[in-house]
Chain A
Amino acid sequence: MIYERPVFRTLGDTALNLEFGDETSIPLNFRILGMDAAIHQSPPKGIIETNPQVRALGIVYDPLSVSRNYLIGALSEFIEAGSEVDKLASRRLTIPALYDDPWSSECAEAFGVRNNMDFIAEFNDMTVAQVIEAHTGCDYWVTGVGFVPGAFMSYAMDPKLRIGAPLYRTPRTWTHSRLLNFGGTTSTIYPMRVPGGGQLFGRTPLNIFEPEQKNAAFRDSPVLAKAGDRHRYIAIMRDEYDDIRAQVETGAYDYAIEEDTFDCDGYLAWLEEQGEPLEKHDPDATWDQTDSAIRGPA
């Protein structure tokens, strides 16, 4: 659900979350990113950093310089100013990937589970070729960056092409770096060798985290993805994969990144035409998601 009024949640003595709803939703994320951009334009006193995610904006502040009440008041002014977002700055990145790759298969074998791509195909009632067609068939919206350095959460922008698969019941103790994976409908890439429970289905030759920042794409930050980016995947063959990887390792690869603005209004209208509900409801649910929270203005 999307709350009637956004709520503030307390995370100890240094952080607040401004939460707009409890569901996964790109339209909800537009409001979070719009709010984040407005805050960065005229930041209230005491804010140390913000961390936008799919349904909530994380705010870290200095309690030695401002009170929580002051901050809630200041942030409420942003909420009252309106949270409808027409347009957002949004880069478009092309990410080549080798689908159904040997490294994903190796991980599955090492942990005694079946080939994850076969499982994903079966779970979505598709062939492997159809999974690849769906994943390369529309843009993915990056709702937020996080978990480990450089990891991100992204979702298919065309609801008809939205596929996924549930996380492993018991996470692997390691995963090769740069593997594409699904956790539910969240599509992401492991930036480095990490434990994880995502269903693996491909590998990109690109770095999505480059701590040494040698490529021009990492000049401003060691992390490739930004909240509000759109990713478009293209399927490549093994020789192309090896060729791109070699260029990435020397720092010479030319990452395809287009600076752009995204028409959020237009997208919402298109979603409605597709018959996509803009909010999820469960009439039987009794969890009060706004209980014990500090309510924002109406």
Chain B
Amino acid sequence: MLEVLNGGLHTTVQDMGRRGVMSLGIPPSGAQDGFALRVGNLLVGNPPGGPLILGNDPGSAGLEITLGRMKLRAERDQLIALTGADLGTTIDAEPAPLWQAIMLKAGQVLACGMAKLGARGYLAVRGGIDVPLYLGSRATHVNGKFGGVEGRILKAGDRLAVGPSSSDSAALVGRRLRADLMPAYTPPWQVRVVPGPEAHLFTDASVERFYATAWKLNPKSDRTGMRLMGPKLEFKPGRPRYLVEDAGTDPSNIVIDPGAPVGTIQVPSGVEPIVLGVDSPTIGGYARIGTVITIDMAHIGQARPMEIVRFVEISYRDSVAALCAQETLITAENIVD
């Protein structure tokens, strides 16, 4: 058991999310920085699960700790790994190392400070956080009030059960991710985008502006959507008039259609592009200038309010190559003693 002493600003149980339920209006949820949670699980010897919504296995559940302040106590020895953002986490007031398997001993208190680099830290625990599976996943969807601990953020007094584990945990202490694979989490954030599906509705100058701008992350961003502040984007003239009744009066309104699981970039009224996050709506009604590639959802998920985000155009072919390349990295071979 892990006893939550302080839930922090926004801490939830997450795995790699649920799939096959978009047609029910249910988003994948799961870790916003899938790389960090998966590596954390590998470090403590848990199944890491597939990349976001792919693969049958959501992997073990851990905690996603947004911006910090979370505090918990171990009731017995637990092998854990802290990955993702540097939250200035301590164990009994001593700084705790990141990207490394460590033993949280019975009675010790783990306390997160405030994020120094990145926005979301992850805590993986050997055996995984043991909450009931809901539609195939343990991921929390706060708006839908399901998954995780009663479908909500953690609060003081929660007791988190830890799943069973087979081999001797002590032997894994000290394992770490190969140093050159550790993400830097420093702005400006580079986020790769495959153009479309409605890029053709924006003026050429606006598409150029989109990729040339140093956008700033709006503090109102969350797991539903990350809003970027910057110049207005314009739409081409010549919109069919029947769309006023069918979709709405604004040139950014399109008739509802399916979104990608995550990552589509809506631009309502041409103002503040929104990158849809892991808890996003499953349909769209605004023109989308592009889609953030799966593995870079981790990058934008680590941007902090007011940090600079730059979008970089990438071809479809290269986006798949990037996904394949990362899959070859998230393996036990890249965990070193």
| Residue positions of A touching B, CB distance < 8 A | 1, 9-15, 17, 19, 22-24, 48-58, 60, 62-64, 67-68, 144-153, 166-167, 184-186, 191-192, 194, 209, 211, 221-223, 227, 280-282, 284-288, 291-293
Contact = CB atoms under 8 A, between A and B. Distances in A.
Contact of A147 (B25, B249, B264, B294): B25
Nearest to B257: A56
25 contacts: A11-B197, A11-B259, A14-B261, A15-B291, A17-B257, A22-B240, A48-B20, A49-B21, A50-B23, A55-B257, A56-B258, A64-B327, A144-B258, A147-B281, A147-B282, A147-B283, A149-B26, A149-B143, A153-B283, A194-B143, A223-B24, A280-B242, A282-B242, A287-B240, A292-B200
A185 B291 CA distance: 29
B199 interface: yes
Interface string B175-210: 000000000000000000011110111000000000
Contact of A148 (B143, B194, B256): B143
Interface of A is mostly: loop
A51 B282 contact: yes
Contacts of A221: 24
Contacts of B200: 288, 291-292
B247 to A, nearest CB: 7
A58 B249 CA distance: 25
Interface stretch (B39-47, B65-73, B81-89, B318-326): B318-326
A53 B236 CA distance: 25
B194 A19 contact: no
A12 B323 CA distance: 11
B22 A58 contact: yes
B116 interface: no
Interface stretch (B7-15, B144-152, B162-170, B298-306): B144-152
Given A149-B144, A287-B201, A12 B260 contact: yes
A54 B322 CA distance: 33
Nearest to A28: B255
B120 interface: no
Contacts of B126: none
B259 to A, nearest CB: 7
A58 to B, nearest CB: 2
Given A10-B197, A184-B248, 18 more contacts: A11-B259, A11-B291, A13-B320, A15-B260, A17-B197, A22-B255, A24-B255, A48-B53, A51-B283, A52-B23, A55-B256, A58-B260, A144-B23, A149-B146, A184-B246, A186-B256, A286-B236, A287-B236
Interface of B: 19-26, 52-55, 134-135, 141, 143-146, 151, 194-197, 199-201, 236-243, 245-249, 254-261, 263-264, 281-283, 288, 291-294, 316, 319-320, 322-324, 327
A280 B239 CA distance: 13
Contact of A13 (B24, B141, B246, B316): B316
A282 to B, nearest CB: 4
B257 A58 contact: yes
A146 B264 contact: no
Contact of B19 (A22, A49, A184): A49
A12 to B, nearest CB: 3
Contact of B246 (A19, A24, A191): A24
